[in-house]
A and B are shown apart, each in its own frame.
Chain A
Amino acid sequence: MSELIETLWRQFGVEAGEHFDAIERLLSDPSGEAGGAERVAALFRSFHSLKGAARAMDLFAMEAVAHRAETILGRVRGGTLTLAGPVADGLLEALDALRGLAELAERERKDGKADADLLARLDALGGGPDGAAAKPVPAQPAPPPAKLHDNDKLLVRFVGLLHDGMATLTRALDLSVLDEEGFRSVDDTAERLEIACERLNFLPFADVFRRFRAGMSDRDPDAILRELQALTLASARVGRLSGRDAGSAILATLLADHNAQALARGTNRCLELMADPAQVHGESAGEELAGQLDRLAATLDILSLPRAAALMRVVGDVVRRAAPLTHADWPGLLADSRAMVARLSHQATLDPPEDLDSDACAALEDRLRRFVDAASAAAESRRPFTAEELTAFGLDSGLLRFLSPDSAADLRAAVADPTLSLYEVTAFLESSAEVASGFVAWLGSAVRAITNWPEFIDGKTWLRVLVAAPPDVATLQAGLRAINPAGDLLHLRRCAPDLEDHAEETPPEREEPATDALPATLTPAPPAPAAPMVPPSSSIAAPASPTPVVQPPAAPSAARAPAPTSGGVLRVPGEVVDRFMSRIDGMVLLSGELNATANDLRLEQALAALTDRLGAGDPALRAVQEAVEHHRRALLDLDAQLSRSVDRLRESALDLRVVPIDTLFSQFPRVVRELARVQGKTVRFLVDGGDVRIDKSMVETLYDPLMHMVRNAIDHGVESPADREAAGKPGQATLSLRAVQRNSRVVVEIADDGRGIATEAVRAKAVRSGLIGEEDSHRLPPDALHDFIFASGFSTAEAVTETSGRGVGMDVVRNAITRLGGSIAIRTREGVGTAFAIDLPLSAAIVRTLLVQIGDQVLAIPDRCVEEVCGFTADAFRVVSGRWTVLRRNRILPVVRLADALGFPADGPWPPQGEGQRLIVVLRQGDRRIGLEIDTLLRRGDLFVRESHPGLADVPGVGGVSLLNDGRIVIILDGDELYRLAAAAQRQSAETVAAHL
């Protein structure tokens, strides 16, 4: 890849140089006749080629200059300008500017800036920035045609044969009255011509005759007419290129009636198809319409109605470019186009047929052209940003993942608008409904919100919103202050485009007491962008001179189109969904508490005790007892129904949070190419299943693990092209990223066809790292050995490379995935490749957990890791093989105190003593079990996982945090990690036991 880019830059330099020299020569040639068509054409081509080359290399400034020069030459070619005086001077100036820009580009490999004055002068000469587009220049006068065939004699004979055969061929149109002899003579003529075409190597022409004959034998009048029409056009071309009459005119005359009928049929069918825009949407209907319009155009060509023919082709072309047809302007344009077809169907039947009005056609064509430009510009503006682009706007590149296609288009529009600047507002909306609603109203009225994302600051989730607004900080500040007079919940920061601007514009710091609420020490340091972020305390100060944030890299002449409206889709601000979710979250928690109350063991026990006491006693009391029992059952019933209903509500609410996984996947192709390039590897990157939808919070959490695995694959998995070829594999490696949805889970697979994981190396490393004994290691199957790569701190990479060496290890990857409620598995074969399969729940936002308490701390154990909870009396605790165990269903279950496993201070004696039951949570991992002794069992609960504080995330065993309805913090434990800790604590306690005995 890097070689290719080097080659391209070299070729660009050489080619641009050649064109510069050619232009210089042509412009300054004193002997050259001022407007010589050849000279103008050559100049036009050179500027045109420069434009194309610049565009290919992303040199927008060069493209802009070359485009204007080309426009001027287009006008010279069209005769509305002469190549002298100011025009020639302007072109020379353009040439100098282009040379400078090309030199800069070659030296620094980057785009420069075009001189605005020069562009304006060139625009003036070319008749406005849209000069070329608005008035297409006529094609250059045709030079003498190239020879059609080497064998002149043969060609002349063929043309004669063609000319004389036309009348015979048209008899095929009266197939019904043609007798057998007549049929034979037509077919013979066609066959002779077909053979002649073959001999002359006029293959498509031969095809026309073959299809014509097939149409005859099928007795298909429409096919016959279609081929005769094709023959008319082809013979006209032969005539033009050979300079002889090939009979095209005769054929056209003979076909006149049929052509008129074909025209009527064609226009009718088009009118039908164009009546309903929804129909044209469909691929096949669009295809049919485009085909009909083409055929209509061909018929119009024969009828010498060139204006209408051209229009039909333009409409056909637009229809064929199916993409823009979802654009809001399309139905109107389609209706107007249809009106023109209707007019044509009338005018073409007049005698003589009348062509469409030239001005009306030109106007419609112009609108269609602008429509396509606008629609494709809209599509283009929706393409993802690069990290560099964002950094250049003074934005954090981490923002990439929060830019949907729509918000990307919004951001592009804002950046291109010199009256707007970019700001970041950091808001805390959880504590005051007034501030929240005021802020939402402010977002909707005072500024243009582009995107928003959550930011975890000081244990709270803040909302960051990227907005575009006029560069008037004072007004913005005042607006925010009106919503939040204390100024502690809303903060404004201007996004500085780059270092120089930033230095110029940041005035001396001004005291802003309000910002004290967000002390810098508590603000997690954002990933450092190229430009330093303004710390909150100075960010609120107004810039001294309100200059536009950023100059658009190239102001393309195409008008910015409004973002296409998506029919039937409701766009809701992210924060509304989040608020909605948190309310449902609250409801889920309440439902859980109801469940706990209804299922309270004490109630059941009390009722049971009551039943015992009553025995066969007082029948009236028995009736009361039965009524209470009945009510308890009804309550349990209602509870069951309510939880099902809440579950369904939660599921549909979760749908609001899901996004196509493509928003995640689409961030990788660029990275893959860049990594492969850096390492001199060639990698084909396949992405599949991008339409699978996952929770939007997972997109964020999955990015790092996926990135790590992609890097690993390229860094360690994929071999160099030479090594691959030596191993008998194609030099280009394949890396694929795919997602499949299975019921309520998503499986993401990353697979490469690289060298695979060396089982022996993993085994040796595992032994060296003390993860397993040498002898045991030989007994393990390869699959089990491969699992060691997920062990903490494990890495087989011998050298620390630039790419994955400093990233997180596979243990961190697995932890991140486990935290999402997922699991990861590996399949690998040496020499063949490696595949990781990540199995994830559709939503990681809410997990079902078992809530337990040790001391004052509430802990949540993921439900999927818990087999059951059982009670044991103190005497059930026994030492077996030096470990504390209990006997559960006749099997020995190792037990440990949860507090000990987590390293929390524990109260009371161990093993338990005294009366009463001790509760054991049976934790499972695969087919292994361990018991955790707990103080108090609270209930099962669905928890809405909040991003945990970075400091907490590193604590072993902790998967995240959540809040209870009473505001207490719950620590959500990580099941696998908890198992590991419990097993380790057990081993340790075994040592203590051993020491005691």
Chain B
Amino acid sequence: MAKPTILLVDDSVLMRTIIGDIVRSDEDLDLVGAAENGKVALEMVKTLKPDIVLLDIEMPEMSGLEVMEHLSLTSRAKVIIISSVAQVGSPEANEARALGAVEIIAKPSGTMSLDLAHKKGHDIVVAIRRAAGLPLRS
């Protein structure tokens, strides 16, 4: 079975590096691209047809929620929101859910502790694997 392909959308290069590193730590996943804003993300979704989009909400140019509105019509990709804005019960989280986000998780923290992928990053990998229908590892 082909590895699930993943597009990462975040305006921060730091976050893209951290999250990218986490995703790459799981060899069952294929990170195919990273976009720095919503417009670029929509273009990349069109060409790369990823299985999963990791999407930030607070972004210049086009917010994550707008991206989702488009994606909900134009892409079969499953969207996982990675944002510190979209906490439980926030309007953003509600809207993202209504637009079909499969999971909403907080941004990773604690990079300096070396078990990066082990901690919060794990949440991201778990969410992706669940969305992709891959077995979860203990």
Given contact pairs A49-B58, A138-B91, A201-B74, A317 touches B17 in the complex (Cβ within 8 A)? no
A contact residues around B25 at 8 Å (CB): 684
A578 within 8 A of B: no
Given contact pairs A317-B88, A369-B89, A234 touches B60 in the complex (Cβ within 8 A)? no
A75 within 8 A of B: no
Minimum CB–CB distance for A597 against chain B, Å = 52
Given contact pairs A49-B58, A57-B111, A142-B66, A309 touches B98 in the complex (Cβ within 8 A)? yes
Is A313 in contact with B12, judged by CB distance below 8 angstroms? no
B95 within 8 A of A: yes
B44 within 8 A of A: no
A contact residues around B66 at 8 Å (CB): 142, 145-146
A498 within 8 A of B: no
Is A669 in contact with B118, judged by CB distance below 8 angstroms? yes
Cα of A887 to Cα of B14 in the assembled complex, Å: 78
A564 within 8 A of B: no
Is A237 in contact with B39, judged by CB distance below 8 angstroms? no
Is A372 in contact with B88, judged by CB distance below 8 angstroms? yes
Is B111 in contact with A5, judged by CB distance below 8 angstroms? yes
Task: Give me 26 A-to-B residue pairs in the complex whose CB atoms sit less than 8 angstroms apart, sorted by A's number.
Answer: A5-B111, A8-B111, A11-B17, A15-B13, A44-B58, A48-B84, A53-B14, A56-B14, A57-B111, A58-B110, A58-B113, A109-B112, A142-B66, A145-B69, A148-B70, A202-B73, A204-B75, A240-B69, A294-B97, A314-B88, A314-B89, A365-B89, A372-B87, A372-B89, A673-B115, A674-B114
Cα of A56 to Cα of B56 in the assembled complex, Å: 15
B30 within 8 A of A: no
Task: Scan residues 104-138 of chain B and give those whose CB is less than 8 A from a CB of chain A.
Answer: 104, 107-116, 118-119, 138
Which 8 residue pairs spanning A and B have beta carbons closest together?
Answer: A673-B114, A314-B89, A55-B109, A369-B89, A58-B112, A11-B14, A365-B89, A372-B88
**8 more CB-based (< 8 A) A-B contacts, given A53-B14, A146-B39:** A11-B14, A51-B84, A56-B15, A139-B91, A313-B94, A369-B88, A673-B114, A688-B138
**Chain A 23-54 near chain B by CB (<8 Å), digits 1 or 0:** 00000000000000000001011001101110
Is A318 in contact with B110, judged by CB distance below 8 angstroms? no
Is A204 in contact with B72, judged by CB distance below 8 angstroms? yes
Q: Tell me which of A52, A201, A366 contacts B84 (CB under 8 A).
A: A52
Is B17 in contact with A8, judged by CB distance below 8 angstroms? yes
Give A residues with C-beta under 8 Å from B: 1, 4-5, 7-8, 11-12, 14-15, 42, 44-45, 48-49, 51-53, 55-58, 109, 133, 136, 138-140, 142, 145-146, 148, 201-205, 207, 233-234, 237-238, 240-241, 294, 297-298, 301, 309-310, 313-314, 316-318, 321, 365-366, 368-369, 372-373, 383, 386, 669-670, 673-674, 677, 684, 688
A contact residues around B32 at 8 Å (CB): none
Is B13 in contact with A11, judged by CB distance below 8 angstroms? yes
Is B73 in contact with A8, judged by CB distance below 8 angstroms? no
Is A15 in contact with B76, judged by CB distance below 8 angstroms? no
B62 within 8 A of A: yes
A contact residues around B46 at 8 Å (CB): 201
A contact residues around B95 at 8 Å (CB): 139
Cα of A7 to Cα of B18 in the assembled complex, Å: 10
B28 within 8 A of A: no
Interface residues on B, range: 35 or more
Give B residues with C-beta under 8 Å from A: 11-15, 17-18, 21, 25, 38-39, 42, 46, 58-60, 62-63, 65-66, 69-70, 72-76, 84-85, 87-95, 97-98, 100, 104, 107-116, 118-119, 138
Minimum CB–CB distance for A729 against chain B, Å = 13
Count of A-B contacts judged by CB separation below 8 Å: 158
Cα of A711 to Cα of B11 in the assembled complex, Å: 39
Q: Tell me which of B60, B72, B98, B107 contacts A313 (CB under 8 A).
A: B98
Residue of A nearest to B87 (CB): A369
A contact residues around B74 at 8 Å (CB): 148, 201-204
Secondary structure dominating the interface of B: loop
Cα of A386 to Cα of B118 in the assembled complex, Å: 14
Cα of A318 to Cα of B104 in the assembled complex, Å: 11
A contact residues around B92 at 8 Å (CB): 139
Cα of A44 to Cα of B60 in the assembled complex, Å: 11
Residue of B nearest to A316 (CB): B97
Given contact pairs A8-B14, A318-B88, A669-B115, A207 touches B109 in the complex (Cβ within 8 A)? no
Residue of A nearest to B83 (CB): A52
Cα of A207 to Cα of B78 in the assembled complex, Å: 14
B contact residues around A51 at 8 Å (CB): 84
B contact residues around A133 at 8 Å (CB): 87
Minimum CB–CB distance for A740 against chain B, Å = 14
Minimum CB–CB distance for B69 against chain A, Å = 6
Is A52 in contact with B15, judged by CB distance below 8 angstroms? yes
Is A139 in contact with B15, judged by CB distance below 8 angstroms? no
Residue of A nearest to B102 (CB): A320
B contact residues around A53 at 8 Å (CB): 12, 14-15
Is B107 in contact with A52, judged by CB distance below 8 angstroms? yes
Is B115 in contact with A56, judged by CB distance below 8 angstroms? no
Residue of B nearest to A293 (CB): B97
Cα of A862 to Cα of B114 in the assembled complex, Å: 43
